[in-house]
Amino acid sequence: MGCASSIHISDRVVYHSGKESEDSHSPQQTNTTQHQGNPASGLPLKPPSCKESGQKKIPSDSGHNRKEQQSGETTSGKTTLTEVQFGPMKLFKDPLQVLLVFAKEDSQSNGFCWACEKANYRCSMVRTPEYALECFSEKHHDLVIIDHRHSRHFDAEALCRSFRAVNSSENTVIVAVVKRPDREEASVMPLINAGFNRRYVENVNLMACYNELLQLEHGEVRAQFKLRASNAIFTALEQSQDAIEITSEDQVIQYVNPAYESIMGYQQGELVGKEIIEVPKSEKNKPDLLETINSCIRKGKEWQGIYYAKKKNGDNIQQNVKITPVIGQGGKIRHYVSINRPLNDNNKSDKSADRVQAESQTDIQSCKHKDRRKGSLDVKSITSRGSDASSQRRHSSMARIHSMTIEAPITKVINIINQAQESSPMPVAEALDRVLEILRTTELYSPQLGTKDEDPHTSDLVGGLMTDGLRRMSGNEYILATKQPHHLPSHLATPLSLNDIPPRIAQTMESEDSWDFDIFSLEAATMKRPLTFLGLKIFSRFGVCEFLNCPEATLRSWLQVIEANYHSSNSYHNSTHAADVLHATAYFLSKERVKQSLDPIDEVAALIAATVHDIDHPGRTNSFLCNAGSELAILYNDTAVLESHHAALAFQLTTRDDKSNIFKHIERNEYRSLRQAVIDMVLATEMTKHFEHVNKFVNSINKPLAALEENGGSSDEETVKSVLTSPENRILVKRMLIKCADISNPCRPLELCIEWAGRISEEYFAQTDEEKRQGLPVVMPVFDRNTCSIPKSQISFIDYFITDMFDAWDAFADLPNLMQHLDNNFKYWKGLDDRKLHTLRPPPE
């Protein structure tokens, strides 16, 4: 208790045992378990606040006393502020704050307490790592002394690491008190690695403790105090309007400030570490100017004059330059500092620079005024704490930016290119600059139609399908008629199960597993309800009811509800189109590669997505809905309006009524996965994302598979499997699958292809008619029924959207018959176009 008696430590020390902290980490709990916690001292357990042992209060007007009071001897009643010279800067240091971390009070901790008192330091003592960190975060001590002798209480090295993990401990000196080693072989390296600055070999002699503290104060602590002030100097450099460059004695660039970066067009990273002679020079200077400058500054003299510098972009800039050699250790030149100011004084940026300077001058003046009023403490907080805080903020935001690069692949790519640029010759670096510009745009996958693409069919089609109503008209009051979802048409005879399907319909569906299956015959045979019947057959073939654990009656009812919500009045986007997409989906799912890649849940999701993917389609495009200010466009913020609606309505209708809820009997997690997959696929049919989906598929699947095939034939089955079945790639396969199914019309047998072309054209014509009627912007002017060339529109559609996509899908799934049809159909449209025909078919002979 030696310590306690002389400096009233009982009021100031936080007593808390290690054992308690193992059991509980909250202060409230520790208070209730005080018995075990307080072995030797016999003192009551104190609340975990951090108090100081220093007795001397700082008088609030003590500022004027600080002058030339060197070092730690106390004059009674007054706080000693120590003046520290740092280069030309004068700093004022208040008494050392010391934190002692000792699990148990003993003669060693008492020795340090006594020494602190003698040296007039402010001292806190804590017993557990938790409180040590808590106390530190409050006081930010200059010196922390941690007991490293008894590992059973706490892990001193781990504690030191925790301190170092806190940014604000950067300038704190941390000392480990260790046992006297048996042999002098113990290395200090583990301590240094843990972040300790110094080792103190246990010595309870009071003078030994005192001398140790004095040495620390005048040595490491003082040095750290000065280093802390360099934050202010760096801030000055960073804020300067002049371009500043610092080099080593052999003229390797060590630093350029932000003004330098913005004036010269370089990034710091491009220059730091380079020799000055490596940076391109302007030819406008007199040939011997550089030599003159060098011979002057190498003698240790300052050079000042006008100098042309070359910016990164090759432009020359005339500057007033001052280069000053910095004399350091051993009286030798250690750095050169070059301060450069562009000469054209009357340019705008200079004026704004002057203004900024004028403003900051008034700031400085007002700060000075405050200083005088409030005394010395403010000076300290401005020079050290203030700049500490800003550098911490900078550090932590840098750390955040750094960790972002770990997350975002695009940022990684940009960083890699940035790095490569640093060591690349100019032409390469410039080319990479253009690459970066492209990468930084968000619409990476949307082709930009160049001026050479003058075909109005293509541009209208692309404009119509690839934008979300950007050509909106203002003040348009048009709102699509809203309607309640359709209920089941009760008067229509519906099959009770697969076995009840009328023979004529069953017969029509017999060839349903062939690509050449005629969906229009089914449309006719089912009185425009092909989706329910084909759905029953295909879902049964894939065992969907078994997977969902749902009765066939529920599936039937569900299919009916879904089909009833397609608009039979649309010429294209009706339930026949949905049945057609379902058919194509089932066909693709039976391809070997697709089967290898997808799980049963993916198959079920794909079939459901195909069935619902255009539900309640109004026969108008997204652009139209946005232009018209329709309720749906408002609801979905003009973004993927229809696709969002299809997905949302599908789930509303499904879960609204148990009778048709096919998800009723699956597990919650399975439902969530299935739901997510269905939504993702329906949203993937949105055409604004067409190129994104196709490109991702090509890059992540086609290319890796092609590379594997080239390398090892079929030898590397495992790697192929991993490409096919990774979760990310399965998503890409499913998206590609539904996209290809959705716009597979041009790959169908010619007669079917012609029928679809007629239907989509008619739907587009109807939209144009309505746009004209309503005075809305005409989204796709080529689709005017009086002037449109259907062959041309099909050629454009195939060229722009179909060819590349089906090449990629064929490379993956192997679809020779589709590609053959596509080829035939394309030739057919070309043939008509060559004959300048605008119609679906040639005129009868």
Which residues bind to ligand 5GP, rule: CB under 6 A? 461, 465, 613-614, 685, 687, 742-743, 745-746, 756-757, 760, 793-794, 797
- Nearest alpha carbon to residue 176 among 165, 186, 166, 168: 186
Partner in contact with 745, chosen from ligand 5GP, Mn ion, none, beta carbon below 5 to 8 Å by kind? ligand 5GP
The SS3 call for residue 304 is strand
Smallest gap from Cβ 655 to Mn ion, in A, equals 23
Smallest gap from Cβ 816 to ligand 5GP, in A, equals 21
Smallest gap from Cβ 765 to ligand 5GP, in A, equals 12
In the structure encoding, which two tokens stand for residue 269, read together? Answer: 């990273």
Angle at 779 between CA 775 and CA 783, to 5 degrees: 100
Q: Which is nearer to ligand 5GP, 465 or 813 (CB)?
A: 465
Interface with Mn ion (CB under 5 A): 614, 742
Q: How far apart are CA 447 and CA 459, in angstroms?
A: 12
Partner in contact with 636, chosen from ligand 5GP, Mn ion, none, beta carbon below 5 to 8 Å by kind? none
Smallest gap from Cβ 568 to ligand 5GP, in A, equals 16
**97-101 and 89-93 as β-strands: parallel, antiparallel, unpaired?**
unpaired
Is 573 one of the annotated active-site residues of the chain?
A: yes
Smallest gap from Cβ 757 to ligand 5GP, in A, equals 5
Partner in contact with 687, chosen from ligand 5GP, Mn ion, none, beta carbon below 5 to 8 Å by kind? ligand 5GP
Q: Which is nearer to ligand 5GP, 245 or 580 (CB)?
A: 580
Q: Which is nearer to ligand 5GP, 556 or 693 (CB)?
A: 693
Q: Which is nearer to Mn ion, 564 or 760 (CB)?
A: 760
Q: What is the DSSP letter of 494?
A: -
Q: Are 244 and 237 in contact (CB under 8 A)?
A: yes
Q: How far apart are CA 27 and CA 18, in angstroms?
A: 13
- Nearest alpha carbon to residue 231 among 383, 91, 82: 383
Partner in contact with 143, chosen from Mn ion, ligand 5GP, none, beta carbon below 5 to 8 Å by kind? none
574 is in an annotated binding site: yes
- Nearest alpha carbon to residue 648 among 621, 669, 675: 675
CA atoms in the 13 A half-sphere facing the CB of 795: 19
Q: Which is nearer to ligand 5GP, 560 or 789 (CB)?
A: 789
Within 8 A by CB and 6+ apart from 234, the residues are 391
Q: Are 498 and 552 in contact (CB under 8 A)?
A: yes
Residue type, 104: K
810 is in an annotated binding site: no
Partner in contact with 217, chosen from Mn ion, ligand 5GP, none, beta carbon below 5 to 8 Å by kind? none
Cα distances from 447 to residues 282, 450, 463, 688, 702, in angstroms, run: 40, 9, 12, 10, 20
Helix 668-684 with 727-742: angle, nearest 10 deg: 50
Partner in contact with 391, chosen from Mn ion, ligand 5GP, none, beta carbon below 5 to 8 Å by kind? none
Smallest gap from Cβ 241 to ligand 5GP, in A, equals 56
Q: For the chain, report the end-to-end CA distance as a whole number of angstroms.
A: 119
576 is in an annotated binding site: yes
Q: Are 316 and 308 in contact (CB under 8 A)?
A: yes
613 is in an annotated binding site: yes
Block residue for tokens 């060197």: 70
The SS3 call for residue 382 is helix
Within 8 A by CB and 6+ apart from 367, the residues are 382
Partner in contact with 788, chosen from ligand 5GP, Mn ion, none, beta carbon below 5 to 8 Å by kind? none
Smallest gap from Cβ 614 to ligand 5GP, in A, equals 5
Smallest gap from Cβ 742 to Mn ion, in A, equals 4
CB environment 55-90: b (16+ within 10 A), e (fewer): eeebeeebbebbeebeebebeeeebbbbeeebeeee
Residue type, 538: I
Q: Which is nearer to Mn ion, 677 or 684 (CB)?
A: 684
Q: Which is nearer to Mn ion, 285 or 685 (CB)?
A: 685
Q: Which is nearer to ligand 5GP, 338 or 793 (CB)?
A: 793
Helix (H) or strand (E) holding 198: strand 198-201
- Nearest alpha carbon to residue 839 among 780, 762, 736, 768: 762
Q: Which residue among the candidates 16, 141, 148, 573 is catalytic per the annotation?
A: 573
Q: Are 464 and 456 in contact (CB under 8 A)?
A: no
Partner in contact with 611, chosen from Mn ion, ligand 5GP, none, beta carbon below 5 to 8 Å by kind? none
Cα distances from 787 to residues 463, 768, 783, 792, in angstroms, run: 18, 12, 8, 11
411 is in an annotated binding site: no
Q: Are 69 and 81 in contact (CB under 8 A)?
A: yes
Smallest gap from Cβ 397 to ligand 5GP, in A, equals 44
Q: Which is nearer to ligand 5GP, 563 or 614 (CB)?
A: 614
Mind telling me the catalytic residues? 573
Annotated binding site for Zn(2+): 577, 613-614, 742
Annotated binding site: 573-577, 613-614, 742, 794
Annotated binding site for AMP: 573-577, 614, 742, 794
